[in-house]
């Protein structure tokens, strides 16, 4: 029995020991597996390690995601981290040069993983950096800000981002307009290295005046000054690295990228980025060729300069959007290499421009249209004066339609409304958004556009026609401005009608021409005076105030001031009452006109036989045709009187035997006889 219990005791003891030891075994991490290098391209000089995935135990918290910059920091040898940090700390510059894991990750990117990108930048470094240093020193800015153009465009003057930023400094359209960079169909000065660099210096100087911190200035250059100010107000923080978690991803990486680019280019030789195989470019001396509005084809000019590549000059003028410029464009200077001067010196300027003309007809520039403002006179340009353009503005065309509101009655249909106003049912439906086949609800307001009859225009009579028409005579009450025919004139007319000898024919013709001219000069002023008198009589001198009228509106309609109306009617205030009569003329002037009225002339003696021949009979009076107006919704006697020239409210009431001012829609009124 004891022999059987011994194995049981041993087994129980082992189970107890296993239970006590298992928790400690479950909380220990497995041994780190050896690092396995990842296969990569032959250009990569570093190896990214793949760490094994650790499955969490039920008693252990889930692992937090590892930051990529922190991961690169951990994978970088400590000696390299310390070396890069010491070099960056030794930079004597006001530009941002803080060192942290974010900066180290981009240093590794530009010096190890993406070396070709930095080598392409180093090839163009000597072309643009002298220009950048010149303007940065001019505006008293840190010289190391020249590396900002590398971050923006990699020193490519024609670079364009997916959002439309263009040029070495990647200006957006509105920002370029604020900095006075011209942009049109032919030229975009954002791609001009010199002009865009000066504009960038002005913009950086402005941003530094706002933030007074170069790290915030670079972030604002990328994200915008307004956006940076809003996030600073929202968070209450005023340091870039404090604002780092609240910035967009592109703006967060902008300052570390700038610092890494500056380090990589300063220590390119230490990281073996320079190579004899690189095609380095250097700045060249250039000349300019002024076009002065002439058309020019850069491809033809490249051939004239002796270049094999027809687009060789486009590299010196990257702001041009097309390889040619049209005639009449603003003064533009084409950049040429100084080495092409001997080739161009062999021919004169006229021959050169004739050779460089575009081979095909290019589109011409449109003439600028000057804005027309109501109430102002258009100031004519030189071209307009040369073409004989008038200074006066042309009158606005008269409206062809009149807007009328119609109130639907019970049982009325769209067809009935259309037939009443002489329009189609489709037009009524379109004007009011009506559906076909739907009944109209009584009381609904419909909008109808009634055609307005254009006034018949008759040509102005010429002086010859007036002189030839002997039946045209001025009215009797306008005898003052009309010159009476003298005895000499009558005698000349009589002499012209009698036969004369052959040798005096020329003298007779000359006297007849003088008579015709005097008659024409006499009749034309008379007709103008008649038209002026009729126009003056069309405006009533008195007005009866109706309900809803106020003095300022009454004066405005008649072209008068409120003060004049109050003085003429001896009013103490601008308040008027319905039924009150107002006078629109100065009483003193009316009395003076009555006093100066000419007295009736006595009966003149019987004219002679010659005067009876010269006099012309009056034309017979033609029967007048009645004009009828159909009252529309919203019409009043006053509106109707203003619509027909020479008709007053009192005349309408007399013609239609009305006792009040009320009229109804559909009522017919006689407006003239």
The owner of tokens 């190579």 is 275
Q: How confident is the model at residue 74 (pLDDT cuts 50, 70, 90)?
A: confident
Measured between alpha carbons, how far is 503 from 235 in angstroms, rounded to an integer?
Answer: 112
Residues 6+ apart with CB under 8 A from 154: 117, 120, 121
Of 40-54, 66-80, 303-317, 392-406, give the lowest mean pLDDT range. 40-54
Tens of pLDDT, residues 597-640:
555 544 444 454 444 444 444 544 444 556 788 888 778 888 88
How far apart (Å, rounded) are the C-alpha atoms in residues 358 and 299? 9
- Residues 177 and 183: their CA atoms lie apart, in Å, by 8
With cut-offs at 50, 70 and 90, classify the pLDDT of residue 333. Answer: very high
Mean pLDDT of 462-481: 46
**Domain 542-592 in this protein, CATH class:** alpha beta
- Going by DSSP bridges, is the β-strand pair 627-630/668-672 parallel, antiparallel, or unpaired? antiparallel
Phi, psi angles (nearest 5°) of residue 628: -115, 135
Altogether, the residues listed in the chain come to a count of 673
More confident residue, 292 or 73: 292
Burial per residue of 80-91, b for 16 or more beta-carbon CB atoms within 10 angstroms, e otherwise: ebeebeebbeeb
Q: What is the mean pLDDT of the chain?
A: 75
pLDDT at residue 59 in the model: 39
Kindly report which listed range (143-147, 437-441, 461-465) carries the lowest average pLDDT score.
461-465
248-259: per-residue pLDDT in tens? 999 999 999 999
Kindly report the CATH class assigned to 78-266. mainly alpha
| Average pLDDT of the segment spanning 392-398 | 57
Q: Which one, of 399, 454, 446, lies nearest residue 418 by Cα? A: 446
Over range 561-585, report the average pLDDT.
Answer: 82
**pLDDT above 70: residue 365:** no
Would you call 170 exposed, middle or buried from its count of C-beta atoms within 10 A (0-12, 13-18, 19+)?
buried
In this model, does residue 520 exceed pLDDT 90? no
pLDDT score of 614: 44
Q: Give the whole-angstrom CA distance, residue 485 versus residue 613.
A: 13
Q: Which pLDDT score, from 0 to 100, does residue 205 have?
A: 96
How distant is the alpha carbon of residue 133 from its chain centre? Answer: 37
Q: Residue 337 phi/psi, 5° resolution?
A: -70, 145
* Of 449-453, 558-562, 667-671, highest mean pLDDT: 667-671
Pick from 9-23, 92-106, 303-317, 444-458: least confident: 9-23
Domains 401-451 and 627-672 share a fold: yes
289-293, 309-313, 488-492 — which is least confidently predicted? 488-492
What pLDDT score was predicted for residue 551?
82
Report d(CA 448, CA 153) in Å as an integer: 61
Query: So what's the pLDDT on residue 575?
Result: 82
SS3 at position 531: helix
Task: Give 413 or 43, the one with higher predicted confidence.
Answer: 413
pLDDT band at 375 (very low <50, low <70, confident <90, very high): low
Q: Which two tokens stand for residue 236?
A: 């209450």
pLDDT-based confidence at residue 595 (cuts at 50, 70, 90): low
249-268: string of b/e by CB count within 10 Å (b at 16+)? Answer: eebbbbbbbbbbbbbbbebb
- Domain segments of the chain as ranges: 78-266, 286-355, 401-451, 463-537, 542-592, 627-672
User: Comparing C-alpha atoms, which of 346, 348, 320 is closest to residue 333?
Assistant: 320
User: What's the CATH superfamily of 401-451?
Assistant: LysM domain (3.10.350.10)
Q: What is the model's pLDDT at position 237?
A: 93
Per-residue pLDDT, 637: 85
pLDDT in tens, 298-328: 999 998 888 888 888 999 999 999 988 988 8
At residue 397, does pLDDT exceed 60? yes
Q: Which of 113-117, 125-129, 398-402, 461-465 has the lowest mean pLDDT?
A: 461-465
Q: What percent of the chain has pLDDT over 90?
A: 33
Q: Indicate if the pLDDT at residue 62 is higher than 50.
A: no
Residue 131 CA to residue 150 CA, distance in Å, equals 14
Q: What dihedral angle (degrees, nearest 10) is formed by the CA atoms of 170, 173, 179, 184? A: 110
Domain 627-672 superfamily per CATH:
LysM domain (3.10.350.10)
pLDDT, one tens digit per residue, over 419-448 is 888 888 888 888 888 888 788 888 889 988
What pLDDT, in 10s, does the model give residues 638-663? 888 877 877 888 888 888 888 888 88
pLDDT at 493 over 90: no
Which of 383-392, 399-408, 570-579 has the least mean pLDDT? 383-392
Give the tokens for residue 386. Answer: 């040369």
Identify the pLDDT of residue 452: 76
Here the contacts of 326-331 (C-beta below 8 Å, separation 24 or greater) are 326/186, 326/295, 326/362, 326/363, 326/364, 326/365, 327/293, 327/294, 327/295, 327/364, 328/293, 328/364, 328/365, 329/186, 329/291, 329/293, 329/365, 330/293, 331/290, 331/291, 331/292, 331/293
What is the rounded average pLDDT of the residues 405-432?
A: 87
The torsion angle over the Cα atoms of residues 533, 538, 544 and 546, rounded to 10 degrees, is -150
Higher pLDDT, 100 or 529: 100
Residue 593 — very low, low, confident or very high, per pLDDT cuts 50/70/90? low
Report whether pLDDT(393) > 70: no
User: What's the confidence (pLDDT) of residue 370?
Assistant: 65
The pLDDT of 513-528, averaged and rounded, is 47
Contact predicate 332/293, CB 8 Å: no
Answer yes or no: is pLDDT of 373 > 80.
Answer: no
More confident residue, 428 or 546: 428
Which residues face 183 on adjacent strands? 188
Tell me what the mean pLDDT of segment 219-246 comes to.
Answer: 94
Give the CA radius of gyration of the chain. 48
Q: State the residue for tokens 């009608």.
A: 497
Whole-number percent of the chain with pLDDT over 70: 64
Q: 582 pairs with which residues across the strands?
A: 543
Question: Would you state the pLDDT for residue 511?
Answer: 52
Query: Residue 554 and residue 540: Cα distance in Å, rounded?
Result: 12
CA 392/CA 204 separation, integer angstroms: 49
Per-residue model confidence (pLDDT) at position 441 = 87
First to last CA, the chain: 150
Rounded average pLDDT over 112-129: 94
Q: Residue 96, Cβ neighbours under 10 Å: how many?
A: 24
- Whether residue 661 contacts residue 554, with contact meaning beta carbons closer than 8 Å, is answered with no
């Amino acid at each position: 029995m004891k022999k059987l219990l011994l194995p049981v005791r041993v087994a129980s003891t082992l189970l107890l020991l296993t239970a006590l030891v298992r928790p400690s075994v479950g909380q220990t991490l497995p041994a780190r597996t050896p690092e396995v290098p990842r296969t990569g391209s032959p250009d990569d000089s570093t190896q990214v390690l793949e760490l094994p995935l650790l499955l969490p135990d039920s008693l252990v918290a889930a692992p937090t995601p590892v930051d990529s910059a922190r991961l690169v920091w951990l994978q970088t040898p400590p000696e390299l981290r310390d070396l890069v940090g010491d070099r960056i700390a030794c930079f004597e510059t006001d530009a941002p040069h803080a060192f942290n894991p974010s900066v180290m990750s981009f240093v590794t990117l530009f010096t190890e993983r993406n070396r070709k990108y930095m080598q392409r930048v180093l090839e163009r470094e000597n072309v643009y950096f002298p220009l950048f240093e010149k303007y940065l020193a001019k505006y008293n800015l840190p010289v190391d800000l020249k590396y900002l153009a590398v971050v923006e465009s990699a020193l490519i003057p024609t670079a364009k981002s997916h959002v439309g930023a263009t040029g070495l400094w990647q200006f957006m359209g509105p920002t370029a307009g604020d900095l006075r960079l011209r942009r049109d169909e032919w030229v975009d000065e954002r791609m001009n290295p010199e002009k865009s660099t000066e504009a960038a210096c002005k913009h950086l100087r402005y941003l530094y005046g706002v933030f007074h911190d170069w790290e915030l200035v670079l972030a604002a250059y990328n994200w915008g000054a307004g956006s940076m100010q809003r996030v600073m107000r929202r968070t209450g923080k005023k340091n870039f690295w404090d604002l780092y978690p609240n910035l967009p991803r592109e703006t967060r990486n902008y300052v570390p990228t700038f610092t890494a680019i500056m380090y990589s280019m300063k220590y390119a030789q230490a990281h073996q980025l320079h190579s004899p195989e690189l095609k380095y470019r250097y700045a060249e001396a250039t000349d300019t060729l002024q076009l002065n509005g002439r058309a020019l084809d850069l491809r033809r000019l490249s051939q004239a300069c002796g270049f094999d590549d027809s687009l060789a000059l486009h590299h010196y003028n990257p702001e041009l959007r097309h390889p040619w410029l049209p005639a009449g464009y603003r003064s533009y200077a084409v950049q040429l290499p100084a080495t092409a001067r001997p080739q161009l010196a062999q021919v004169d300027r006229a021959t050169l421009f004739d050779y460089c003309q575009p081979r095909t007809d290019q589109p011409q520039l449109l003439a600028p249209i000057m804005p027309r403002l109501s109430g102002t006179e258009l100031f004519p340009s030189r071209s307009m004066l040369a073409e004989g353009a008038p200074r006066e503005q042309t009158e606005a065309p008269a409206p062809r339609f009149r807007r009328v509101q119609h109130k639907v009655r019970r049982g009325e249909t769209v067809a009935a409304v259309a037939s009443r106003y002489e329009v189609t049912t489709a037009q009524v439906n379109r004007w009011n958004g009506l559906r076909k086949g739907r009944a109209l609800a009584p009381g609904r307001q419909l909008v109808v556009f009634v055609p307005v009859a254009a006034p018949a225009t008759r040509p102005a009579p010429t002086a010859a026609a007036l002189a030839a028409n002997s039946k045209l005579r001025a009215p009797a009450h306008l005898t003052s401005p009309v010159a009476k025919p003298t005895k000499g004139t009558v005698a000349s007319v009589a002499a012209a009608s009698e036969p004369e000898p052959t040798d005096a024919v020329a003298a007779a013709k000359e006297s007849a021409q003088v008579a015709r001219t005097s008659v024409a000069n006499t009749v034309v002023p008379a007709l103008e005076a008649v038209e002026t008198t009729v126009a003056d009589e069309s405006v009533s001198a008195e007005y009866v105030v109706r309900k809803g009228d106020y003095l300022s509106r009454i004066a405005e309609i008649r072209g008068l001031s409120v003060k004049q109306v109050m003085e003429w009617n001896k009013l103490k205030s601008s308040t008027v009452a319905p039924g009150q009569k107002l006078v629109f003329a100065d009483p003193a002037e009316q009395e003076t006109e009555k006093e100066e009225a000419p007295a009736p002339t006595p009966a003149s003696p019987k004219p002679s036989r010659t005067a009876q021949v010269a006099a012309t009979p009056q034309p017979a009076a033609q029967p007048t045709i009645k004009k009828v107006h159909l009252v529309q919704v919203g019409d009043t006697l006053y509106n109707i009187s203003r619509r027909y020239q020479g008709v007053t409210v009192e005349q309408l009431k007399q013609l239609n035997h009305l006792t009040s001012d009320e009229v109804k829609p559909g009522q017919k009124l006689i407006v003239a006889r």
